[in-house]
Structure 1
Amino acid sequence: MKTNSSTPDSFKINRRTFAGGLVASGMLHTLAAFSVEPLQSNMNTSVPIEEKSDKLVVYQIFTRLFGNQNTTNKPWGSRDENGVGKFNDITAKALQELKKFGVSHVWYTGIIEHALMTDYSAFGIRKDNPQVVKGRAGSPYAIKDYYDVNPDLAVDVPNRMKEFEDLLKRSHTNDLKVLIDFIPNHVAREYHSDAKPAGVQDMGEGDDTSKPFDPKNNFYYLPGQSFQVPQGVVTPEESVVNYVENPAKATGNDVFKAQPDLNDWYETIKLNYGVDYLNNRQTHFDPVPSTWVKMKDILLFWAAKGVDGFRCDMAEMVPVEFWGWAIPQVKAAFPDVIFIAEIYNPQQYRNYIFTGKFDYLYDKVGLYDAVRRLMEGHGTTEDITRVWQQESGDYANHMLRFLENHDEQRVASRFFASDPWTAVPAMTLSATLHTGPLMIYFGQELGVNPTQAEGFQGEDGRTTIFDYWGVPEFQAWTNGSVDKPARFDGGKLTDDQKNLRKFYQQLNQLVNTSDAIRMGAFYDLQYANNAGKSPGYDQHRLYSYLRHSAKQKLLIVCNFDKQKTAKTTVRIPVEAWKTMKLDGTKIYSFSDIFRTKTKLKSAATSGVPVELPPLSVLVLEIK
C-alpha cells in the first residue's frame, strides 16, 4: 500500500565508488522530482567491503492467487465462483522449483487475517460489513486480527494456523527464508482479535473515545461525529446493513474527518503511536505509548513461530522512534530476523536505517522510477548515475531493488512497457548495480499481463489484490487444474514464456554465484565514455560500470534502446584499473558469463569493443 510521497527539493553529491549496494529489483518512477547539481569530480574512491552479503533474492507471492487453478475469472466473482489459493497449494515441489530458480527468501503476501466479504461466521469469525471492505476478497492491508491468519487460505478453517505453520516448515525444509507483511499504520475498521493470546488487550480496548487524542489510546477519534461511508462506495451484496461507527475514527491515510473520500483508505483506521496530528504533530513518547507495546508483542508473536522477516507496510507513516525502540528488542530475541521498510521519501532513508534500525528499504523513488522511464522510451541513463550517487556510501547496500510488486503495474501491461522483454537491461542493472537485495513479483518472470477489470481493482495494469482471481500465465507454469494437482513444471507455458523465465533464472544464478556482484565495489564508467571519447556511445541509452572484488572483476554494459544496436568501444580509465588493482598497460580477456558467452581480447588502454542489440546486456569477466 502506498500514498503520494514528498521528494527533496535538491541535494548535492560527488562522484565516487562505493561497496555495498543497491540491487535487487528495480523500481523507478520520478527522478525528475530531484534537482541535482552538476558533478564536481570524475574521481572515484573506494569504501571498505562488508563481509556479510546483503544480496538476498526475494520472491513475492500473493498467497491467495499463487495456487488458484480456477479459470472462471468472473468480475466481482465470489470465492466459490473464482476460487482461491491455499497454504497447502504451495507444496514442497513448488518450493523446490523456487529454490532452483535462485530464490533465497519468499515473501508471502496476505497472510495475517484481514477484512473480507466471504462469511466465515460459522467458524466463529465475525462477518465484515461490505461497506468498509474493498473487493470481495478484501485488502490484505486492512488487518482484522493481528494474531490470526486469513481463513480464505485454509483448507480446514479451524486449523488455519496449523496450515500456515506447516507452510513455514516446508519453506525452511527447502532452504527458503519466510517474510510476511507487518501492517503497523492502520487496521480494518472492524478490527477485533478473536485469536489473541490470553491476557492480551485488544486494539482500542480501554480507549477514552471522548478525546480526539490521548497517548494512551490506540486510535484517534472524532467525538460527536459518526462515520459516514464515502460517496460512491458500491458493494456486490444484495442487502447491506449500514455500517455504524460512533464516534468516527481517523482513517488510515491520515484523514481526520468523519467522511473520507472514495480514494482514501476508507476501509482502515489510523493507529495512534503518540503523535498528536491535530496539534502540530506534538509527540508523546514518554511513557511508552500503549500502541508501541502491543505492536512489539505482535512482532514477537510471529517471530516466535519462525517467520524470518517482516516487510513493513508504509513504515514512514509510523514514527521512526517506534522502530528504533521495537526492532532492537525483536532482534535481541531473534537476531536473524530482518526488517524491510516500504518507504517513499529519500530524505528519510538514513533516518529509518540508522535511527529506525531497518535492514532494507524499498528503492521506489530512485532506481525504479529512473529505469521505468527508460523502459517506457523516455528518460536517460544519466539518471542512474544520479541515483547511485544519492544512495552511495554507508547505506547503498540497504536498498532493495525491483521492477514489480503488488503496488506497481506489470511490465508487460499496456500501462507500462507492453513487452516483458523490455525488462532485460533494467532487471539486469537492478540486480547487479550494487550489493543490496533483489525482489521479483510472482509471474513477473512469465510476463503476466492483466487485461481486464477483475472487480474492485479495475483494469489498471496491476494484478488484483482485492478480488478472487486466477492468473492465467502463472497457472500455465503451475500446470494443474481444479481436478488435478499442480506439477509446477511450466508444462503449459509458451516457448516465449519459457525463454523469459530462463532469463530470470540465469540472472538469479549470476547474482547468487558472482563474488563481485555479491560483495564487490562499484565504479561508474559513464564519465569516461561519450560520443567524443567513444564514438557510437549513446550516454542517454547505454550504461556501463564495473563491479569488482579481490576474486572477480566484471564490466557490465546495458543497452536500453528499443530499436538501435549499440556498436562502440567502452573506455576504462586509468583510475579504474588502479581501483581494481590491475595493471592498466596489459592485454585482458573479456568473457560474457551471463547470456551471449561472447569472448574478446583488448589492451587496457584501448577500451573494449562491444556490440549490443536493442534491449540487451553484456556481463564481461575481466581476466
Structure 2
Amino acid sequence: MTDQKPIIYQLVPRLFGNKNTKFVVNGSRSENGTGKFNDISNKALQEIKKLGITHVWYTGILEHAIVEGYPDAGIPHGNPLVIKGKAGSPYAIRDYYDVNSDLAEDVNQRIEEFQNLLTRTHQNKMKVIIDFVPNHLAREYHSDVKPKGISDFGEEDNSGVGFAPNNNFYYLPHEHLHLSDEIRKHFPNIDYLEFPAKATGNDQFTANPQLNDWYETVKLNYGVDYQNNHSLHFDPIPNTWIKMKNILLYWAEKGVDGFRCDMAEMVPVEFWHWVIEEIKSAFPEILFIAEVYNPYLYEAYIKTGKFDYLYDKVGLYDTLKGIIRSERPARDISQCWQSLNNLDEYMLRFLENHDEQRLASPYFASDPIKALPAMMLSVCFNKGAAMIYSGQEFAETGMEESGYSGSDGRSTIFDYWNLPEHQKWMNDGKFDGELLSDQQKNLQNAYRDILKHAQLPAISQGEFYDIMWQNTDLSIFNSDKVYAFLRHTAEQKVLVICNFDSNNQHIQVKIPAHAMEVMNIPRPIELHFNKLFSEEEYRLSSNEVAEIGLPLSIPGHQYLLLEINV
C-alpha cells in the first residue's frame, strides 16, 4: 500500500455511457441500448478525477453470459434459462480471457477498445480495477480467446466422480440438472441440458437449484471436498489454482492495476495466500480487494490471504445506515473500530455499491444530504480505502422497474438500462452537468469537498484516536447524533466531527489529556483550531479543551474538520 489513500469510483460501463432515454421494461439491447467503452471519454475521466478519485473500478468488464450474442463475431446466443436478465449478470463469467462484447463499438475490436480505455484512464492519472470472479462461472462457460496451451475449465475433468482434487467443477454423477418450475415458467418452450449436473455457485450441491440460488452459475473446485468434512487437497497445487493465476497474470500484463475479488470468502484463504504472492512477485503494486462479509474471517484474509483491503459492510456500512435512518445512535460507531482488532486500516469504506440500495432511495436515506456526514466519516475514519458508486453524487434512486430487477432501490446490473440522474451530468457525452438541477450540482460539489480531504497527511497516513469516551455528557455533547475523533501524524493533527442530525448541534467537544499526550501536545498551552480550507479559527487553552470542551456549532447533516496547531 502507498501513502496515497485509494479513493475508488465504481461504474458499470453498460449503464454509465447509455445515452438512450426511452426504455422498454425487459427491453433488448437494440430497444434500450447499452453504454460502450468509448463512452468513457477523456472528458468523463477528467471530471471523475476532479472528484478526488485515484482508482476507477470498471464493473462488468469480463465477458459474461448474455441472451443476445453476436453470432457473426463467433459469440453465440445464450440460453435465457441460465441467464439473469437479458443483459446478464456481470458475475456469471462466460470467458475469463475476454471482455463483454456489448461494450464494444466494433465487437471484433473489443479487447483493443478496452485496452484504449485502460490507456485513457492511466493518462488521466487514475488506476484501473476490474472484477475477478473466482468462486463460480456461467453454466455456458466457454473461452474462445484463451492463450494457446491453456485448457478450458472442466475440459480435463473426470465428471464421473463428485469430487477430485484436480477437477475444476463439483459433479452430481448420473444426475441431470433440473431447474425449478419457478425458473422454467418464464421460458416454457426452452430447455437447458446439463449432464452430469454440476454444483451451483452458492454452494448448492444439488441437481435441483431454486430461483433464489445462483442457478445461472457453477461452483469452482479449489481442492475442498465440501461433502466430506471440508477436507483439503492442496498438494499438489490444484488445477483450478493454476488456471486462476494465469487469468490474473493475463489482465495484469494488460495494465490492470487491481482486482475486486467477488465473494472472496467462498474461496479458501490458502489459495489467496498463494496466488496473491505469485501475482505481486511480478506486479508489486497491484491491488487486491476482497468482498468478505464474515468478520471472523477478516484476520485470515488479511494476514494469511494477503489482501490489501476488505469490504467493511457488516461493520461501518450497516452502522452508518442505521444512524442515517435514525435507528441507531452515533456513538455505536466506536464499536466498529473496536471490533476490528487493529485491522481498521485494511477496510474499504462505502455507502453505495452495485449490491446495496441507493442513498436517495426510500429504502435508505431518501434525502441524499443525510448521508454527507457519513461519507466524510467513511473517508476520514482511518488509512483504509473509500469508494463511491457512479450516480451517488447525483442522487440516483434505483427505483426504476427495469425487467429482471424491480423497483428495489438498486440500479440494475441485469438489464439494458440507464442511470437517469447521471444522464443529466453526462448530457449526451459532454459531461458538463448542464442538465443537473441546482440541488444535484450542490450534491456533486459536496462530494468534491469531502473527497479533497482524503489526501491530507493526517487522513491518508495518520493514526486514529476516538474521543467519544470523553464526550459522554449528553447535556453538552449529543452522542446520539454526533460523532468525533482525531487523526494525527507528527506534522498534522485533525479533529473530525460529524453531525447526523437534521438540526444544528451546539456542542462542547473535549479532547482527552491522554490524546494530547499521544499527539505530543504540551500542556498547558494555547491551541489554535483552524477550519480546513477556511480562515475560520478557534482558540482555547489545552486545559480548557480537556476539562470544559471546545464550544462549536455544526449545521444539520454536516461535518467539521479542524486542524489543531499550537
Name the TM-score class by shorter chain. over 0.9
**Alpha-carbon separation, structure 2, partners of 1:309 and 1:438:** 15
Letter in 2 for 1:348: L
**CA displacement, residues 207-254 of structure 1 (integer Å, 9 cap, x when unaligned):** 1111011111100011111111222126877x8530110111000000
Q: Are 1:570 and 2:509 an aligned pair?
A: yes
**Alpha-carbon separation, structure 2, partners of 1:90 and 1:528:** 48
What's 1:584 paired with?
Answer: 523
Unmatched tracts of structure 2, length 5 or more? none
What's 2:105 paired with?
Answer: 155
Q: CA deviation at 1:565?
A: 2.2
Q: Are 1:194 and 2:144 an aligned pair?
A: yes
What's 1:78 paired with?
Answer: 28
**Alpha-carbon separation, structure 1, partners of 2:490 and 2:185:** 61
Letter in 2 for 1:540: D
Query: Is the 8 Å Cα contact of residues 84 and 414 (structure 2) preserved in structure 1?
Result: yes
**CA displacement, residues 498-528 of structure 1 (integer Å, 9 cap, x when unaligned):** 000001111111112x111011111111111
Equivalent runs, 1:25-174 vs 2, <5 Å: 52-53=2-3, 55-174=5-124
**Alpha-carbon separation, structure 1, partners of 2:401 and 2:165:** 43
**CA displacement, residues 269-290 of structure 1 (integer Å, 9 cap, x when unaligned):** 0000010111111111111111
Letter in 2 for 1:583: P
Q: CA deviation at 1:598?
A: 4.0
What's 2:480 paired with?
Answer: 540
**Alpha-carbon separation, structure 1, partners of 2:250 and 2:295:** 31
Question: What TM-score do the two structures reach when normalised by structure 1?
Answer: 0.88
Q: Are 1:437 and 2:375 an aligned pair?
A: no
Q: Are 1:337 and 2:270 an aligned pair?
A: no
**Alpha-carbon separation, structure 1, partners of 2:462 and 2:481:** 25
**CA displacement, residues 44-95 of structure 1 (integer Å, 9 cap, x when unaligned):** xxxxxx9x42610000011111111001122101111111000001111111
What's 1:18 paired with?
Answer: none
Query: Is the 8 Å Cα contact of residues 399 and 410 (structure 2) preserved in structure 1?
Result: no
**CA displacement, residues 384-414 of structure 1 (integer Å, 9 cap, x when unaligned):** 1111112242x32111100000000000001
Q: 2:416 aligns with which of 455, 468, 491?
A: 468
**Alpha-carbon separation, structure 2, partners of 1:110 and 1:121:** 21
What's 1:209 paired with?
Answer: 159
Q: 2:227 aligns with which of 259, 264, 278?
A: 278
Q: Secondary structure at the match of 2:551?
A: strand
Q: Secondary structure at the match of 2:361?
A: coil
**Alpha-carbon separation, structure 1, partners of 2:78 and 2:227:** 30
Q: Secondary structure at the match of 2:527?
A: strand
**Alpha-carbon separation, structure 2, partners of 1:73 and 1:593:** 45
Q: CA deviation at 1:489?
A: 1.2
Q: Secondary structure at the match of 2:454?
A: helix
**CA displacement, residues 447-470 of structure 1 (integer Å, 9 cap, x when unaligned):** 111222111011110000000001
**Alpha-carbon separation, structure 2, partners of 1:240 and 1:476:** 41
Q: Are 1:422 and 2:370 an aligned pair?
A: yes
Q: Secondary structure at the match of 2:183?
A: coil
Q: 2:461 aligns with which of 519, 532, 547?
A: 519
Letter in 2 for 1:524: D
Query: Is the 8 Å Cα contact of residues 344 and 365 (structure 1) preserved in structure 2?
Result: yes
Q: Secondary structure at the match of 1:167?
A: helix
Aligned length: 561
Q: Secondary structure at the match of 2:453?
A: helix
What's 1:260 paired with?
Answer: 209
Query: Is the 8 Å Cα contact of residues 252 and 268 (structure 1) preserved in structure 2?
Result: yes
**CA displacement, residues 192-211 of structure 1 (integer Å, 9 cap, x when unaligned):** 11111111100000111110
Q: Secondary structure at the match of 1:357?
A: coil
Letter in 2 for 1:578: E
Equivalent runs, 1:237-386 vs 2, <5 Å: 240-386=189-335
What's 2:550 paired with?
Answer: 608
Q: CA deviation at 1:161?
A: 0.5
User: Per the alignment, do residues 415 and 407 of structure 1 end up closer, same or farther by CA in structure 2, a change over 3 Å counting?
Assistant: same
Unmatched tracts of structure 1, length 5 or more? 1-49, 481-485
**Alpha-carbon separation, structure 2, partners of 1:597 and 1:345:** 45
Letter in 2 for 1:299: L
Q: Secondary structure at the match of 2:422?
A: helix
What's 1:450 paired with?
Answer: 398
Query: Is the 8 Å Cα contact of residues 183 and 210 (structure 2) preserved in structure 1?
Result: no
What's 2:447 paired with?
Answer: 504
**CA displacement, residues 513-568 of structure 1 (integer Å, 9 cap, x when unaligned):** x1110111111111111226xx3311222111111111211111111123x32112
**Alpha-carbon separation, structure 1, partners of 2:275 and 2:472:** 49
Q: 2:499 aligns with which of 559, 563, 583?
A: 559
Q: CA deviation at 1:336?
A: 1.1
Q: Secondary structure at the match of 1:347?
A: helix
Segment drifting more, 190-199 vs 223-232: 223-232
Q: Which of the pair has the greater relative contact order for Cα pairs under 8 Å at 6+ separation?
A: 1
Superposition RMSD in Å: 1.4
**Alpha-carbon separation, structure 1, partners of 2:435 and 2:341:** 43
Query: Is the 8 Å Cα contact of residues 556 and 618 (structure 1) preserved in structure 2?
Result: yes
**Alpha-carbon separation, structure 2, partners of 1:407 and 1:581:** 43
**CA displacement, residues 307-361 of structure 1 (integer Å, 9 cap, x when unaligned):** 0010000001000000111111111111111100000011111101111111111
Query: Is the 8 Å Cα contact of residues 270 and 304 (structure 2) preserved in structure 1?
Result: yes
- Structure 1 stretches of 4+ with a deviation exceeding 3 A read 234-237
Identity of aligned residues (%): 53
**Alpha-carbon separation, structure 2, partners of 1:119 and 1:427:** 40
Query: Is the 8 Å Cα contact of residues 168 and 306 (structure 1) preserved in structure 2?
Result: yes
**CA displacement, residues 359-381 of structure 1 (integer Å, 9 cap, x when unaligned):** 11111011001111001111122
